[in-house]
Amino acid sequence: MLNACTPDFLSILDAAHPGLLRATAPRDVEEPRGRWQGQAAAVACPRSTAEVAGIVTACGQAGVGIVPLGGGTGLVGGQVMPEGPVPLILSLERMTALRGAYPSENVMVVEAGMILADVQAEADRLDRLFPLSLASQGSARIGGNLATNAGGVNVLRYGNTRDLCLGLEAVLPDGSIFNGLKRLRKDNTGYDLRHLLIGAEGTLGIITAASLRLFPKPAATVVALLAVPSPQAALELLALAEGQLAGLISAFELIHRMGYDFLAETMPEVTVPLSPIPDWSVLIELGLPQGVAPEEAMAGLYAQADEAGLVLDGVIATSEAQAASLWRIRESIPEGNRRIGAVSSHDISLPLSEIPAFIPRAGAALAQLGEWRINCFGHLGDGNLHYNVFPVRGRNRKEHDPQREGVKTCVHDIVHELGGSVSAEHGIGRLKVGDLERYGDPAKLAAMRAIKAALDPKGIMNPGAVLRG
């Protein structure tokens, strides 16, 4: 049983580690969707790994819970603890240093508090690419991206955050420091603690620094927005593209007409250069080597797709500005969704071949529960859809509060039955603890609980996240 973080404990902590504590600010205990209000006695802001270790050791001795905080942009409540003995927040906001740059190795070592956009910018300064890219990159911190194994738009080509990490430094629940900042592509020396900490959402330790993979920039990129007859056609288009351009497809995003309708309703300044507006479309980005003409490559793909009946219409960007405006459409969809207001949002993944059947099946099942507008879009190349359910025009999400749980269960049950995941890229946090219990493999859950108990016997690390406390 944990103890609350009391004024007495804070005094002891402050005496031992002066200058690290600050008062809790509202933003420290909020999360983006406003579902929960967190609590915290104070926020500790260590400047070094040794200071993180000192704080963790003190909390361990006192049995005080710690909620690690990065940019606070997570969507499943992993960063806010609304219940239980009041914890200490440990923010990585002062650990933002670039520890080392090794462009000839395509490696960079950064502290966990570095904002993702800054990681991208540092890589760019080295004439390299750090491909992790997601909507909240201006405030998300790389430690949080690692802790949640964040996804984003470039997973198809470059992998999830875990695939971009060669090594970690972390403070474990007993206060020991794991010095694992290797810059190696191959290292088979025992259990992969790095992959265990990545995706553990701060429940097994606090990531303090990471050795990241960088990539040479493609010689050229080209972006297109293509109307397709159906999700099945979109998948066949992906297969066609992969057959020709294996390893060169940087993004393959599915967009449903509902996304465009929401933009027309809430952000009319974002216009779609296709007429008529298609029911289904895909945004493709290719990153090409020297010797391949980008527009020709995309036009060649279009011609073959046209011949195979896989496209109806399309625009190929012929300038960086046009490419940016196509990406802006895709990137505005989440904001359009927010302005409409979802009853329930689902971050799901499916085996690719199950997607065409899933979409009508989920729609039919939800129709049994009421009338909805459904916006189904996302990272089709990864099998990762954001399947979001909205009220019909003129109705308000609040009116559907009593149905939210039923809607979610309806979608998740089908996803689970088809071999999918109910959290593709956002993690479990506190929002999906029940989903993990419902859908998770029992042997995996038992192993997770055993590992948590072994590494964090007092349960001080992010209490109640991922596993029920």
Interacting residues with a copy of itself between 278 and 337 (CB under 8 A) = 287, 289-292, 296-297, 300
Q: Which two tokens stand for residue 65?
A: 């819970």
Q: 354 vs 235, 351, 383, 418, 439, CA distance in Å?
A: 11, 5, 9, 7, 18
CA 16 to chain CA mean position, Å? 36
| Calpha distance 225→259 (Å, rounded) | 14
Q: Which of 149, 208, 345, 388 binds a copy of itself (CB under 8 A)?
A: 149
Stretch that binds a copy of itself, among 17-25, 143-151, 255-263, 265-273 (CB under 8 A): 143-151
Is-contact 439 422, C-beta < 8 A? yes
Does position 441 interact with a copy of itself (CB under 8 A)? The reply is yes
Strand ranges, E, within 39-197: 43-44, 66-69, 88-91, 98-102, 107-111, 128-129, 165-171, 177-180
Stretch that binds a copy of itself, among 118-126, 277-285, 319-327, 348-356 (CB under 8 A): 348-356
Does position 226 interact with a copy of itself (CB under 8 A)? The reply is no
Q: Which of 90, 108, 172, 359 binds a copy of itself (CB under 8 A)?
A: 172
Is-contact 171 125, C-beta < 8 A? no
Does position 19 interact with a copy of itself (CB under 8 A)? The reply is no
| Calpha distance 143→133 (Å, rounded) | 14
Does position 442 interact with a copy of itself (CB under 8 A)? The reply is yes
Shortest spacing between CB 146 and a copy of itself, in angstroms: 12
Shortest spacing between CB 119 and a copy of itself, in angstroms: 19
| Contact string 401-430 vs a copy of itself (x = CB under 8 A) | ------------------xxxxxxxxxx--
Shortest spacing between CB 109 and a copy of itself, in angstroms: 11
| Contact string 179-218 vs a copy of itself (x = CB under 8 A) | xx-xxxxxxxxxxxx-xx-xxx---x----------xxxx
- Give me the residues paired with residue 240 across strands: none
Q: Which two tokens stand for residue 400?
A: 């559907």
Q: Which two tokens stand for residue 426?
A: 């956002």
Shortest spacing between CB 113 and a copy of itself, in angstroms: 21
Q: 3-state secondary structure string, 387-409?
A: EEEECCCCCCHHHHHHHHHHHHH
Shortest spacing between CB 410 and a copy of itself, in angstroms: 19
Q: 212 vs 49, 107, 110, 164, CA distance in Å?
A: 18, 6, 8, 6
Shortest spacing between CB 269 and a copy of itself, in angstroms: 31
Q: Which of 345, 349, 375, 462 binds a copy of itself (CB under 8 A)?
A: 349
Does position 463 interact with a copy of itself (CB under 8 A)? The reply is no
Does position 392 interact with a copy of itself (CB under 8 A)? The reply is no
What element of type H or E holds 366? helix 355-367
| Calpha distance 311→233 (Å, rounded) | 8
Does position 450 interact with a copy of itself (CB under 8 A)? The reply is yes
Shortest spacing between CB 24 and a copy of itself, in angstroms: 28
Stretch that binds a copy of itself, among 12-20, 42-50, 359-367, 374-382 (CB under 8 A): 374-382
Shortest spacing between CB 281 and a copy of itself, in angstroms: 20
| Contact string 52-91 vs a copy of itself (x = CB under 8 A) | ----------------------------------------
Site for a copy of itself in 235-254 (CB under 8 A): 235, 239, 242-248
**C-beta contacts of 402-406 below 8 A and 24+ residues apart:** 403/343, 403/369, 403/370, 404/343, 404/344, 406/369
Shortest spacing between CB 296 and a copy of itself, in angstroms: 8
Does position 447 interact with a copy of itself (CB under 8 A)? The reply is yes
Nearest to 434 by CA among 422, 446, 424, 425: 422
Q: Which of 8, 23, 34, 104 binds a copy of itself (CB under 8 A)?
A: 104
Strand 88-91 versus strand 98-102 pairing type: unpaired
Please spell the DSSP secondary structure of 303-362, one letter per residue. HHHHHTT--SEEEE--SHHHHHHHHHHHHHHHHHHHHH--SB--EEE--GGGHHHHHHHH
Shortest spacing between CB 218 and a copy of itself, in angstroms: 6
What's the one-letter identity of residue 432? Answer: K
